[in-house]
Amino acid sequence: MPNSVFMEDLDAFTYRRQLAEGNGVVLIPAGSIEQHGPHMPLNVDVLLSRAMSGSLAEAIGALVAAPIVYGYKSQQRSGGGNHLHGTTSLDAATIIAISKNLTLELARQGVRKIAFVNGHYENYQFLYEGVDLALRELRLGGVEDMKVVLLSYWDFIDEATIAELYPNGFPGWDVEHGGVLETSLMLHLHPGKVDVDRIADLPPARLPNYDVLPVRPELTPDSGCLSSAADATADKGEILLKRATAGMAAALETEFLGLDQR
């Protein structure tokens, strides 16, 4: 049997043993099916949240549950918009139901330490709501010891790393869609899935600081990317993966393993 941190690679008996003998922490990657420009596939957020979870699991001795593949609707100001071809999203109620359901399902199997590792900006608050509802239900049923952490991996890239990797200025995480962060990570983790010849070198999208429904499609750049990926490199991806993993590991060790790193 493969020795893997990924639940779906394991047989049921090995999974149960690793869960019982390990520290009991289970990570749930959350992605999306969303356009990521002409140079990357629709499942970038799934691939990156899963890879981040794998790296994190190896660092702290956790297991990684199968990912949430679809995400909440792409927003024009952070993902180009849900009107774009290929972007295939779930309603908020569905995301809430999924995170609640998975929390309860893992709880039923005896898991008490869960972390959602989010890779799609728009998911976050709905994952949170599902977890909150699950914990309320568990408490009413007498389960008091469930603890859940929610995080988005880019929040663990510190200021020094941002200054190092964006010498020409940082556009902001919201417009880092199909830009340097995701493209560098993909070049490091899944180089065969990036078509570097199709990277569009354009200035960051100029979007208003408010939303309009229905969206005005002309506000989204034709490439679907909200900032340029021209400066992306595999080396930057390696640095991003290492720093994010270290930051997330410190947080989970503090919350789950009683090792206060702060």
List contacts with Zn ion (CB under 5 A): 44-45
The token pair at 168 is 């020409």
Rounded distance between C-alpha atoms, residue 103 and residue 147, angstroms: 10
Q: In angstroms, give the least distance from the CB of 159 to Zn ion.
A: 22
Residue closer to Zn ion by CB (options 25, 244) is 244
Residue 213 makes CB contacts below 8 A (sequence gap 6+) with none
| Cβ at position 182, least distance to Zn ion in Å | 5
The DSSP symbol for 5 reads S
Quote the least distance from Cβ 36 to Zn ion, whole Å: 6
- SS3 per-residue string spanning 86-155: CCECECHHHHHHHHHHHHHHHHHCCCCEEEEEECCHHHHHHHHHHHHHHHHHHHHCCCCCCEEEEEEHHH
Structural Rg of the chain based on CA atoms: 19
Q: Closest separation between CB of residue 119 and Zn ion, Å?
A: 7
Catalytic residue IDs: 34, 36, 45, 120, 122, 177, 182
Nearest to 100 by CA among 148, 64, 155: 148
Residue 134 or 175: which CB sits closer to Zn ion? 175
Judged by beta carbon, residue 44 or residue 205, the one nearer Zn ion is 44
Which one, 44 or 225, has the nearer CB to Zn ion?
44
d(CA 3, CA 22): 13
Spatial separation of the C-alpha atoms in residues 155 and 243, rounded to whole Å: 11
